[in-house]
Structure 1
Amino acid sequence: MDNVISVIIIDDHPLVLNGFEFILNRNANILLKKTFTRAKDAVDFLETEQIDVVLMDINMPDMNGIDATEIIRKSYPDTRIIAISNLNEGSIASRMMQAGAAGYLLKNVSAEELIDAIQAVYQGEQVLSKEMSDVLSDKQDTVPKITEREREVLALMAKGYTTPKIGELMFISPLTVESHRRNLLQKFRVSNSVSLIHKATEMKFI
C-alpha cells in the first residue's frame, strides 16, 4: 500500500495505548498521529486534523464509544472507526456498527490482525474479529430496533419521569406514552419498566 494511513487511538488504559502504539509505530504505512484517554478531546482534535482511521474503546470516563462514534461519523463521514474492546457481547458490537463503526475487534487482537483491519477499513471494508463474527452470527436478532420517539420515551423513563410528565414534555398524550412503553417492553423482551431501563442501559441505548 502506497498511501500512509493516519490513525488516532482513544482508550483510557495506558497499557492498551502503549501496546497499540508499539504495533502501529513499527508499520511504515501507518502514521499514528495522537492518542487520547478522553473521547471529547479526540473529537476536538478532529476539528483541526483529518484522520483516516480511529481506534475507539467502548467504555471511557467522559463518553461511551457508541456516542463518540455517532458524533464523529456525523461530522467526519470519511473517517473510519474500529471499535477496540474487551466486550465480546453481540448487542454492544451491533450498536457500535449501527452507530457507524467499520469494525469491531477484541483487545487481544494480534498485531497482524490489527494492521490488516486498519488497512481494510481504510479501503472501505468492514472487519470483525473471528470471535465477534461468531457472536454476531448467533445473536443477529438480539438488538432491538427502536424508533426515535421510543428512544425519547426511554431516555425520559430512565430519568424517572412519570407517564403524564413524559407526555407533557413530548407534547403527546399519556395513552401514546403507554403505547410506546409497551412497544419498548416487547422489543427488549422484558416485563416491567425497571428491567427495561436496566437492559437498555446494558445495551448502551441510554
Structure 2
Amino acid sequence: MIKVAIVDDHKILTEGLQNLIEESGIASVVGVAHSAAECRLSLGFWKPDILLLDVGLPDISGLDFCKEIKDHFPEVKVLALTTHNEYAIVRQMLDNGASGYLIKNAMSEEVLEGIETVAKGETFLCHEIDLLMKRSPEKNIWLSDRERELLRLISEGLTNGEIADKIFLSPETIRGYRKNLLLKLGAKNTAVLVKMAVEQKLI
C-alpha cells in the first residue's frame, strides 16, 4: 500500500483528504502536518512514499520546501496540492523536484489517480494544469491593474518605500506584491522583471 503524508495548513482539507485516501484502499495516511516546521520534525519517522504538499504554507514557500525535501529525502515523491494555477508557479514547483501538481478543486478521482501515477515514478498533472502547461507561457501572464501599476513604478526605479507612499500601501504589502510578480513572470530578480515587462509589453 502507498504511504502518504500531507502538509497543509487547512485542517478541514487535510481531514477530507485523509478520509478520501484511507477509504480508497490504494493508500494510507502515515502523517499530517500543518506547517513546514511540523513536517521537518516528522518526515524521517513517517517515511512516506508520497508527500502531498501545499504551495502556500504559513512558515515557508512550498516551492522552497519542495526543494529542501528533495535534497534531504530524494526518495520521497512530492505531489503539489494548491490553489495556485499560474504557469510560473507550476513550472518552478516541477523544476524544484515535484512529481505532480493538483489543484485543490480537483475531483476526488484525480487526487487518487495522482497518488497512484506518482507512486509509479511517473509525472502527474491534473486536467486543468495539463491544459495550462500545453499553452505557451507568454499567453499565461495575466496581471491585475494594481500589479501593472506596481510593475510600472518598479521599472521607474522606485524603492518599495517610495512605491508604498505613492499608492498608499505599506512597504510590507509592496514587498509581497513584488515577490508575487517575480513568481508570476518567472523572473530571477527585479532587473529581469523589468526587462520581461518591457519585452512582453506588460507596461
Please say whether Structure 1 and Structure 2 have the same fold, judged by a TM-score greater than 0.5: yes
Choose from 60, 63, 67 the match for 1:63: 60
Alignment gaps of 5+ in structure 2: 141-158, 161-187
- Equivalent residue number for residue 155 of structure 2: none
Q: Is the 8 A contact 2:30 2:46 kept in 1?
A: no
Larger helix fraction of residues: 2
Task: Measure the CA separation in 2 of the matches of 1:182 and 1:6.
Answer: 41
Distance 1:48 1:67, change over 3 A: same
Question: Does 2:12 correspond to 1:34?
Answer: no
Distance 1:61 1:26 in 2: 29
1:48-59 mapped onto 2 (5 Å cutoff): 48-59=45-56
1-structure distance, mates of 2:50, 2:36: 14
> Residue 197 of structure 2: which of 170, 190, 196 is its match?
190
C-alpha distance in 1, partners of 2:137/2:74? 25
CA deviation vs aligned residue, 1:138-163 (integer Å, no higher than 9, x gap): 244689xxxxxxxxxxxxxxx98xxx
Q: After superposition, give the CA deviation of every residue in 1:41-66 in whole Å (9 maximum; x if it has no partner).
A: 11221123311000010111111111
C-alpha distance in 1 between matches for 2:39 and 2:86: 25
**One-letter amino acid of the structure 1 residue matched with residue 95 of structure 2:** Q
The residue number in structure 2 matching 1:124 is 121
Deviations 1:117-155 (A, max 9, x none): 101101100000111111112244689xxxxxxxxxxxx
Does 1:86 pair with 2:83? yes
Amino acid at match of 1:11: D
Partner SS for 1:109: coil
Count of matched residue positions in the alignment of Structure 1 and Structure 2: 154
Identity score, percent: 25
Is the Cα–Cα contact under 8 Å of residues 106 and 129 in structure 1 kept in the other structure?
A: yes
Q: 1:138: which partner in 2? A: 135
TM-score, with structure 1 as normaliser: 0.68
CA RMSD, aligned part only? 2.5
TM-score by length of 2: 0.69
- Cα distance in 2 between the residues matched to 1:90 and 1:76: 26
2: CA distance between counterparts of 1:123 and 1:111? Answer: 19
**Cα distance in 2 between the residues matched to 1:25 and 1:185:** 44
